[in-house]
Amino acid sequence: MGTIVSFQAHPDDESITVAGTLARAAAAGHRVVLVFATRGELGEPVPGVLAPGENLSVRRAAECYAAAAAIGAKRVEFLGYTDSGMKGEATNDAPHCFWRADVDHAARMLSVILDEEEPDVLTIYDDNGGYGHPDHIQVHRVGKRAGELSAVPVIAQNTTNRDWLTRGMRGMAQEEGREFTPPEELPEVGKPEAEITHRVEAVDFADEKRAAMRAHASQIAPDHFLLAMPDAVFAMGLGTEFYIVDPPVNPAAAPELFEELFTPMR
Residues sharing a CB contact under 8 Å with residue 207, sequence separation 6 or more, in sequence order? none
User: What is residue 168's predicted lDDT score, i.e. its pLDDT?
Assistant: 82
The beta strands (E) that lie in the chain are given as 3-8, 31-38, 75-81, 121-125, 154-159, 198-201, 240-245, 263-264
User: CA 71 → CA 20, 28, 207, distances in Å?
Assistant: 8, 12, 9
User: What is residue 127's predicted lDDT score, i.e. its pLDDT?
Assistant: 97
Residues sharing a CB contact under 8 Å with residue 115, sequence separation 6 or more, in sequence order? 150
Are the C-beta atoms of residues 80 and 74 closer than 8 Å to each other? no
Tally DSSP H helices, then E strands, for the chain. 9, 8
- The CA-based angle 33-158-204, given to 5 degrees, is 70
Distance CA 112, CA 110 (A): 5
First to last CA, the chain: 27
Residues sharing a CB contact under 8 Å with residue 108, sequence separation 6 or more, in sequence order? 146, 149
pLDDT tens for each residue of the chain, 266 residues long: 999 999 999 999 999 999 999 999 999 999 999 999 999 999 999 999 999 999 999 999 999 999 999 999 999 999 999 999 999 999 999 999 999 999 999 999 999 999 999 999 999 999 999 999 999 999 999 999 999 999 999 999 999 999 988 888 888 788 888 888 878 787 789 999 999 999 999 999 999 999 999 999 999 999 998 999 889 989 988 999 999 999 999 988 899 999 999 999 98
